[in-house]
Amino acid sequence: MKADPAGVLTGVHYLDGDFACGEGAMAAGCRFVAGYPITPSTEVVERISRRFPMMGGTFIQMEDELASMAAVTGGVWTGTKCMTVTSGPGFSLMMENIGLAAMMETPCVVVNVQRGGPSTGLPTMVGQGDMMQARWGSHGDYELIALSPQSPQEAFDLTIVAFNLAEVWRVPVMFMMDECVGHMTEKVVIPPSDEIDIVPRVLSDKAPGDYLPYEVNGRPVPEFVRVGDGYRFHTTGLTHDERGYPVMSVECQEDSVHRIINKIRLNANDIVRYDEENVDGADVVVVAYGITARVTRMAIDMARTEGVKVGFLRLIVVWPFPEDRIREIASSTKAFVVPEINYGQMVLEVERCAAGKAPAILVPHGGGGVHDPAVICQAIVEAAK
Amino acid sequence: MSTPPNTPLPEEHPIAPYLRMDRMPHIWCPTCGIGTVVKCFATALEETQLDLDKVTIVSGIGCTGRVAGYMNLDAFHTTHGRAIPFATGIKLGRPELEVVVFSGDGDLTGIGGNHFIHAARRNMDLLVILVNNFIYGMTGGQNAPTTPTTARSSTMPFGNFERPFNLPHLAASCGATFVSRWTCLHIRRLTKCIRTALGRKGFRFIEVIAPCSTLYSRLNRLGSGLDLIKFYHDNSEIRHGADTRELEIGYQDSFVCGNFVDEERPTFLDLMNAHYEEVLGDRYVRMPPEGGWIHE
Ligand SMILES: Cc1ncc(C[n+]2csc(CCOP(=O)(O)OP(=O)(O)O)c2C)c(N)n1
Ligand code: SF4
Ligand SMILES: [Mg+2]
């Protein structure tokens, strides 16, 4: 369906990435946000708390991030689209309930405007060190989806995509911004509401007696209902059967957990998104995301003037990772170069998928700033030799 | 009236419609006190004649945390300590619902203590029923923030030297508008109390003292669960309106039960709606009572 006009601030704006993300959420139909202040993410909820009262939305500043994530997970079951917003330290506190959302198959969006870490790290300065935590941070085995925008415009556009993916696959979606994208101000075009496609919450039309909350009948995800509509359903973070009842058995674990993993793994090619440029025939392919993708573009131009055939693959959906595409490229390129503002996270995925066919060369940055394009350029030139 | 000897038992227990009978038998130990609290809750639901489709129950983790799973309501078994914020999300997402939190002392006031005090402060419209068995039951009898001083627990094998919470006082001083304490043998009074609380708004807190027969009772050599239920009942004095400062519970000491607070104050949602209506006037759009579900 098309977006509810109440949440869409159509026009051409000059916005920072945090505000643009907030606008994206409101355009996507988000009407409940619970959060706890943390730099550099707070502007997202500040924006929302200013505009929500005019569109039937509720924002609550909770007592901590444990509460924020729990409130969002509960709120989703009312049919309302929900989001929470944080940065590294708060992201760590949210992990247990992100696992609950994955286990209960609760679609929601968790925004992490990444700053330098670990611990309190660099509160006001950029980092990309939570990329693996986004994927693996909660205990146990599960799959989810994560995206990484490279600009305020994408912070708007991809927040809508994040809400839509959450609905389709019934997973928590991690929206992995970074401080630079969050705080950079650029032109953001917000289209009219009738040009914005949103995936609404689709409810089961089964009668209460016929409905089982986790019955899939061969589909990847179960049908949804809302709390308060007479279904008297039960859901739990314990391993559960189709009725949502706890079953402590090897078989039920296999059926239920393997399904929530496979709904993403087996459909990964429908979920992955990346931008590609001059990859075929390139000697070196650079893989980057978020703000680092912007810096990389300059590095690539520099390397090309030195005569290197460079391709670029920009990750937009970072999890699930575009395994098949990296595998393909690995057999035609000499090397991958992976700049990121951490000491090696997504490069491990590139390396895993390249499986020894091409080296994956990390260009690390500890955080607090972005790479010097010359350093990335040098890595490209070296890799091409 | 006594039942004539040959009358067959009714096929269905009177509260069966309120339970998920397909999940019986339950996991609780014989003579555990949690079951009678469930019975009182179900009876209160019946007496209030609330539309059960609009009542939802949220539990955390623990033996008491299993209550949600046995109630024939929309039911959420969440994470340890987070029942209150989870329930807050439901309440704010669909304000017309009656949201009940049912969980243990450790869950709600140990790991979940921060949420408890803030939900009370905000007067979040939730009914919180807390079963206080003075211990972490599910994990094997470890010390709780409610364990009386000198009582033994598996992690205080030489007796607890910490001072426990006085829960009604904690709730009242944080702003709860309805505060009571009963034991699980005060069947009639507890049922009435829950029924009354279901008719109120705001952060409503009911503490129910109940035996953990398997752990607390055994570790402290207090006899069977039935002995302990009777002890609690017989050693509790009913004092409605008592000063909540005087409600501490000493080890195997007498204590006070009753209804202590019953006030009317605007809830979080009342305050939010009134405030935005005042400052924003016609520009304010309330979330509809049935929630913010956007659909075709
Ligand atoms: C984050 C987390 N920490 C610890 C546990 C283990 N745990 C499960 S139940 C429980 C204590 C429950 O005590 P209480 O709330 O008093 O419930 P009771 O079993 O006594 O009814 C603990 C510590 C857990 N499930 N999750
Ligand atoms: S361990 Fe204690 S609290 Fe848990 S069911 Fe048994 S008696 Fe009840
Ligand atoms: Mg307990």
CATH number of the domain to which B179 belongs? 3.40.50.970
Q: Which of A153, A178, A195 is the last residue of a domain?
A: A195
Count of alpha carbons within 13 angstroms of residue B218, beta-carbon side: 12
A216 touches B at CB < 8 Å: no
How far apart (Å, rounded) are the C-alpha atoms in residues A142 and A102? Answer: 7
Beta-carbon contacts of B235 under 8 Å, excluding residues fewer than 6 positions away, are: B252, B253, B254, B255
Name the closest ligand to CA B62.
1
Q: Give the pLDDT score at B293.
A: 83
Count of structural domains, chain B: 1
Position B34, amino acid: I
Q: Does residue A174 sit within a domain?
A: yes
Strand ranges, E, within chain A: 11-16, 30-35, 58-61, 81-86, 108-116, 122-126, 145-147, 172-178, 185-190, 234-236, 274-277, 284-288, 310-315, 317-319, 335-340, 360-364
CATH number of the domain to which A362 belongs? 3.40.50.920
A31 touches B at CB < 8 Å: yes
Do A237 and A104 contact (CB within 8 A), yes or no?
Answer: yes
Q: Which of B20, B286, B294 sits opposite A29 (nearest CB)?
A: B294
Q: Which helix (H) or strand (E) holds B55?
A: strand B55-59
CATH number of the domain to which A147 belongs? 3.40.50.970
The stretch B146-158 carries a mean pLDDT of: 98
A183/A282 same-domain check: no
pLDDT digits (tens, 9 = 90+) for B253-292: 999 999 999 999 999 999 999 999 999 999 999 999 999 8
Q: Give the pLDDT score at B294.
A: 78
pLDDT band at residue B9 using 50, 70 and 90 as cut-offs: low
The stretch A277-288 carries a mean pLDDT of: 97
Question: What's the burial of B161, exposed, middle or buried (CB within 10 Å: 0-12/13-18/19+)?
Answer: exposed
Domain that holds residue A43: 5-195
Residues 157 through 196 of chain A touching chain B, CB cutoff 8 Å: none
Ligand 2 atom with the shortest distance to the CA of B133: 3
Complex confidence, ipTM? 0.98
Q: Give the pLDDT score at B1.
A: 40
Strand ranges, E, within A221-309: 234-236, 274-277, 284-288
B178-183 vs B204-209, strand pairing mode:
parallel
pTM above 0.90, yes or no: yes
A227 touches B at CB < 8 Å: yes
Q: Which two tokens stand for residue A255?
A: 């059926």
A-chain CB neighbours of B285 within 8 Å are 6, 53-56
3-class secondary structure, B221: coil
Q: Does residue B17 sit within a domain?
A: no
pLDDT digits (tens, 9 = 90+) for A81-130: 999 999 999 999 999 999 999 999 999 999 999 999 999 999 999 999 99
A19/A132 same-domain check: yes
How far apart (Å, rounded) are the C-alpha atoms in residues B112 and B81? Answer: 4
Domain that holds residue B60: 31-282
Pocket test of ligand 1: the residue of B84, B103, B138 to mutate, having most ligand atoms within 8 Å of its CB, is B138
DSSP code of residue A119: T
Residue B61, ligand 1, Cβ within 6 A: yes
Q: Give the pLDDT score at B11.
A: 74
A122-126 vs A108-116, strand pairing mode:
antiparallel
Interface test with A, best of B53, B92, B286 (most A CBs within 10 A): B92
The stretch A6-15 carries a mean pLDDT of: 98
Position A30, amino acid: C
Count of structural domains, chain A: 2
CB within 8 Å: B295 and A228: no
pLDDT digits (tens, 9 = 90+) for B160-180: 999 999 999 999 999 999 999
Q: Provide the mean pLDDT of chain A.
A: 98
Q: Give the pLDDT score at B10.
A: 64
pLDDT digits (tens, 9 = 90+) for B206-243: 999 999 999 999 999 999 999 999 999 999 999 999 99
Identify the residue with better confidence: A288 or B6.
A288
A5 touches B at CB < 8 Å: no
pLDDT(B3) > 90: no
A282/A178 same-domain check: no
Q: Which of A128, A160, A195 is the last residue of a domain?
A: A195
What spacing in Å lies between the alpha carbon of B194 and ligand 1's midpoint? 24
pLDDT digits (tens, 9 = 90+) for B29-78: 999 999 999 999 999 999 999 999 999 999 999 999 999 999 999 999 99
CA terminus-to-terminus distance, chain B: 58
How far apart (Å, rounded) are the C-alpha atoms in residues A176 and A91? Answer: 11
Residue B82, ligand 1, Cβ within 6 A: no
Q: Which of A195, A216, A237 is the last residue of a domain?
A: A195
Q: Does residue B62 sit within a domain?
A: yes
A28/A166 same-domain check: yes
How far apart (Å, rounded) are the C-alpha atoms in residues A124 and A19? Answer: 16
Evaluate the CA torsion angle B201, A53, A2, A83 in order and state its sign: negative
B-chain CB neighbours of A70 within 8 Å are 78-79, 82, 85-86, 88-89, 115
pLDDT(B5) > 80: no
How far apart (Å, rounded) are the C-alpha atoms in residues B115 and B122? Answer: 10
pLDDT digits (tens, 9 = 90+) for A289-323: 999 999 999 999 999 999 999 999 999 999 999 99
What spacing in Å lies between the alpha carbon of B102 and ligand 2's midpoint? 15
Interface test with A, best of B18, B66, B77 (most A CBs within 10 A): B77
Q: Does residue B6 sit within a domain?
A: no
What is the percent of chain A with per-residue pLDDT over 70, rounded to a whole number? 100
Interface test with A, best of B55, B57, B84, B86 (most A CBs within 10 A): B86
Residue B62, ligand 2, Cβ within 6 A: no
pLDDT digits (tens, 9 = 90+) for A352-371: 999 999 999 999 999 999 99
